[in-house]
């Protein structure tokens, strides 16, 4: 159960403040602020008001009783092999995840939320390879052959809540948070193109399916799962067979399979459908065009935005009769933060039965 000090630290992390900056904003010495965070000082009304004002959060935020969790097991950085996410950014992301979990618990008090499909947990040591696990999940979910059209919806049907954020500007594509007694939560970077977001979603799904504890190889395993889940090897071999792999072909396949040209090229290499020389030439061409970080905008496609969390929020307004002010009050984060996390919502009027949402 969260203490006042836990919530002060959470608010500080969410705002990206150092202890020194937070102490200055509140008007106390850093040593005193440290004692507040560590619950060594009993807060009076004056301290509570100053803390609320310093972090621009309602006083009710500091009365939340939920558990505050530490950092997620995995933070999926923007580029493979890139790990320049600072400790401050991880703290900010972790704080946002906790706040969203607080909110999700409250939002679900009025909604019976039922997934349609089961999220399997598959031990990689038992299945020997991520390829087998990816194939097993596709079979378990009865996914037809060919490209997965709406990956977001497929993941939401398994009871996973997907949200969008900008990660406070950090070079992060996605994170996964699975807390006891709550639906798993995946956050993805809304500023990234759809091909990267789809790979990120599949990567985070891999963590939920395969990883209960962190390992040295988990990121590589999640990447391989994502590749095989989105581009089943047997099907891609047939796609590449007898065709010269060029930038033009990769561009055409990107629109069809809804993955990046680079993912397709890596898949072709792993399946030995392209010579080393030709692959090297294509990588050079991709680099020369500046496509390593951003592929041509003309090849972009629409990301399939989350539906479940928005529908839960809208149901409070249109089916359960909550006012927008009541919904914001329920979140305990204030209007500005509510809009930042959940977007603008229109108020509703109807009465308040308990609503059941079958995803």
- Could you report the per-residue pLDDT of 13-66, keeping only the tens digit for each? 999 999 999 999 999 999 999 999 999 999 999 999 999 999 999 999 999 999
The pLDDT assigned to 214 comes to: 86
The pLDDT assigned to 80 comes to: 40
- What's the token pair of residue 218? 């988990």
Look at residue 171 and tell me whether its pLDDT is greater than 70.
yes
pLDDT in tens, 312-322: 999 999 999 99
Q: Is residue 33 part of a domain?
A: yes
Same-domain pairing of 89 and 46: no
Residue 52's domain comprises: 1-68
Whichever domain contains 30, its CATH number is 1.10.260.40
Listed residues 47, 68, 89: the one ending a domain:
68
Same-domain pairing of 57 and 155: no
For the stretch 86-124, what's the b/e string if a residue is b when 16 or more beta carbons lie within 10 angstroms of its beta carbon? eeebbbbbbbbbbbbbbbbeebeebbebeeeeebeebeb
Q: Is residue 219 part of a domain?
A: yes
The pLDDT assigned to 180 comes to: 87
Q: Is residue 190 part of a domain?
A: yes
Q: Is residue 93 part of a domain?
A: yes
Distances, alpha carbon 18 to alpha carbons 3, 7, 76, 149, in Å? 20, 15, 24, 44
The pLDDT assigned to 351 comes to: 46
Q: Is residue 28 part of a domain?
A: yes
Distances, alpha carbon 297 to alpha carbons 122, 250, 264, 283, 304, in Å? 37, 14, 17, 18, 17
pTM: predicted TM-score of the whole model, two decimal places: 0.91
Q: Is residue 285 part of a domain?
A: no
Same-domain pairing of 75 and 112: yes
Provide the 8-state DSSP code for 357. Answer: E
Instruction: Report strand pairing: 172-177 vs 75-77.
Output: antiparallel
Listed residues 68, 92, 119: the one ending a domain:
68
Same-domain pairing of 176 and 203: yes
Phi/psi of residue 3, each to 5°?
-100, 170
Into how many domains does the chain fold? Answer: 2
Q: Helix, strand, or coil here: 42?
A: coil
Listed residues 50, 68, 86: the one ending a domain:
68
The pLDDT assigned to 83 comes to: 54
What value does the mean pLDDT take over residues 267-288?
97
pLDDT in tens, 176-202: 998 888 899 999 999 999 999 999 999
């Amino acid at each position: 159960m969260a203490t006042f000090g836990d919530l002060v630290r959470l608010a500080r992390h969410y705002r990206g403040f150092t202890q020194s900056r937070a102490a200055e904003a509140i008007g106390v010495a850093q040593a005193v602020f440290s004692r507040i965070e560590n619950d060594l000082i009993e807060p009076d009304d004056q301290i509570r008001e100053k803390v609320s004002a310093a972090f621009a959060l309602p006083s009710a935020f500091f009365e939340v009783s939920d558990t505050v969790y530490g950092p997620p097991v995995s933070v999926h950085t923007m580029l493979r092999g890139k790990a320049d996410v600072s400790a401050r950014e991880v703290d900010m992301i972790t704080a946002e995840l906790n706040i969203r979990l607080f909110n999700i618990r409250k939002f679900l008090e009025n909604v019976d939320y039922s997934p349609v499909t089961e999220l399997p947990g598959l031990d990689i040591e038992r299945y020997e390879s991520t390829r087998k696990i990816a194939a097993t999940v596709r079979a378990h979910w009865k996914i037809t052959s060919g490209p997965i059209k709406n990956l977001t919806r497929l993941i939401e049907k398994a009871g996973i809540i997907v949200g969008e954020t900008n990660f406070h500007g950090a070079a992060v594509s996605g994170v996964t948070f699975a807390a006891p007694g709550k639906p798993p939560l995946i956050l993805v970077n809304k500023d990234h193109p759809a091909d990267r977001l789809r790979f990120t979603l599949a990567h985070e799904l891999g963590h939920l399916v395969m990883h209960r504890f962190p390992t040295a190889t988990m990121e590589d395993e999640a990447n391989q799962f994502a590749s095989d889940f989105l581009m089943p090897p047997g099907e891609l071999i047939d796609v590449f067979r007898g065709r010269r792999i060029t930038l033009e072909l990769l561009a055409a396949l990107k629109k069809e399979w809804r993955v990046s040209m680079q993912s397709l090229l890596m898949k072709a290499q792993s399946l030995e459908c392209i010579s080393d020389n030709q692959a090297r030439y294509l990588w050079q061409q991709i680099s020369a065009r500046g496509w390593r970080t951003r592929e041509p905008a003309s090849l972009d496609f629409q990301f399939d935005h989350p539906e479940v969390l928005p529908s839960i929020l809208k149901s409070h307004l249109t089916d359960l009769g909550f006012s927008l002010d009541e919904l914001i009050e329920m979140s305990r984060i204030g209007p500005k933060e509510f809009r930042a996390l959940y977007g603008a919502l229109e108020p509703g009027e109807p009465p308040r039965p308990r609503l059941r949402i079958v995803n």
